[in-house]
Amino acid sequence: MPVRNLILILGDQLTPTISSLRGAEKDRDRILMAEVAEEATYVRHHKKKIAFVFSAMRHFAEELAEAGWTVDYVQLGDADNSGSLKGEVERAVKRLKPSSVSVTEPGEYRLLADFKGWDAELGVPVDIRPDARFLCSRSEFEGWADGRKRFLMEDFCRHMRVKTGLLMDGDKPAGGKWNFDKDNRKPAAQDLFMPRPRRFEPDEITQNVLSLVETRFSEHFGALDPFWFAVTRDEARQAFDDFLDSGLPRFGDFQDAMLRGEPFLYHAVVSPYLNAGLLDPMELCQAVDQAYRDGKVPINSAEGFIRQIIGWREYVRGIYWLRMPDMADENFLGATRDLPSFYWSGETDMTCLKEAITQTRDEAYAHHIQRLMITGNFAMLAGIEPRQVHEWYLAVYADAYEWVEMPNTLGMSQFADGGFLASKPYASGGNYIRKMSDYCGSCRYDVAQKTGEDACPFNALYWDFLDRNAERLRGNRRLATAYSTWERMGEAKQDSYRDSAHVFLQGLS
CATH label of the domain that carries residue 479 = 1.10.579.10
**Of 267, 295, 323, which residue constitutes the final position of a domain?**
323
Q: What is the DSSP track for 253-289?
A: HHTT-BBTTBS-TT----HHHHHHTSS-HHHHHHHHH
Same domain, 116 and 142: no
Per-residue pLDDT band at 181 (split at 50, 70, 90)? confident
Same domain, 288 and 430: no
Interacting residues of 7 by C-beta distance below 8 A, sequence separation 6+: 20, 21, 24, 29, 30, 31, 32, 101, 102, 103
**What pLDDT does 186 receive?**
82
Nearest to 5 by CA among 112, 123, 126: 126
CB burial of 225-261 (b: ≥16 within 10 Å; e: otherwise) equals eebbbbbbbebbbebbebbbebbbbbbbbbbbbbbbe
**What pLDDT does 153 receive?**
86
**Of 323, 350, 378, which residue constitutes the final position of a domain?**
323
Least confident range of 148-152, 223-227, 232-236, 301-305: 148-152
Query: Distance (Å, rounded) from C-alpha 399 to C-alpha 309?
Result: 13
Same domain, 297 and 178: yes
Element (H, E) at 71: strand 71-74
Domain that holds residue 40: 5-129
Same domain, 303 and 386: no
Q: List residues bridging with 446 in a β-sheet.
A: 455
Higher pLDDT among residues 499 and 191, named by residue: 499
Same domain, 37 and 155: no
Q: What predicted TM-score, i.e. pTM, was given to this entire model?
A: 0.95
Query: Distance (Å, rounded) from C-alpha 424 to C-alpha 418?
Result: 9
Same domain, 241 and 165: yes
Mean pLDDT of 113-119: 95
The tens digit of pLDDT for each residue in 191-237 reads: 767 899 999 999 999 999 999 999 999 999 999 999 999 999 999 99
Give the 3-state secondary structure of residue 44: coil
**What pLDDT does 205 receive?**
98
Query: Distance (Å, rounded) from C-alpha 211 to C-alpha 205?
Result: 10
**What pLDDT does 417 receive?**
95
How many structural domains is the chain composed of? 3
Contact 36, 82 (CB under 8 A): yes
Tell me the CATH number at 289: 1.25.40.80
Contact 89, 8 (CB under 8 A): yes
Same domain, 69 and 22: yes
Contact 385, 331 (CB under 8 A): yes
- The average confidence (pLDDT) of the chain is 95
User: From the centroid of its chain, how far is CA 159?
Assistant: 23
Strand-strand pairing, 100-104 and 5-8? parallel
**Of 323, 355, 371, which residue constitutes the final position of a domain?**
323
Same domain, 145 and 241: yes
End-to-end CA distance of the chain: 64
**What pLDDT does 1 receive?**
62
User: Is 223 part of any domain?
Assistant: no
DSSP letter (8 states) at residue 446: B
Interacting residues of 49 by C-beta distance below 8 A, sequence separation 6+: 222, 272, 364, 397, 398, 400
Q: List residues bridging with 102 in a β-sheet.
A: 7, 127
Task: Kindly tell me if the per-residue pLDDT of 148 is higher than 90.
Answer: no
Same domain, 295 and 416: no
Contact 30, 3 (CB under 8 A): yes
Give the 3-state secondary structure of residue 506: helix
Give one word for 33, left, alpha or beta, with left for phi > 0 and alpha for psi -120 to 50: beta
Mean pLDDT of 442-455: 95
Contact 253, 300 (CB under 8 A): yes
Query: Distance (Å, rounded) from C-alpha 267 to C-alpha 252?
Result: 9
Mean pLDDT of 305-315: 95
Query: Distance (Å, rounded) from C-alpha 492 to C-alpha 490?
Result: 6
Nearest to 392 by CA among 218, 209, 220: 220
pLDDT > 70 fraction of the chain, expressed in percent and rounded: 100
Same domain, 146 and 240: yes
DSSP letter (8 states) at residue 193: T
Query: Distance (Å, rounded) from C-alpha 243 to C-alpha 264?
Result: 11
Phi and psi for 427 in degrees, rounded to 5? -110, 145
pLDDT > 90 fraction of the chain, expressed in percent and rounded: 92
Contact 266, 194 (CB under 8 A): yes
Same domain, 20 and 143: no
Cis? peptide before 226, omega within 30° of 0: yes
User: Is 336 part of any domain?
Assistant: no
User: Is 202 part of any domain?
Assistant: no
Same domain, 21 and 88: yes
**What pLDDT does 192 receive?**
62
Mean pLDDT of 259-275: 94
Query: Distance (Å, rounded) from C-alpha 105 to C-alpha 99?
Result: 19
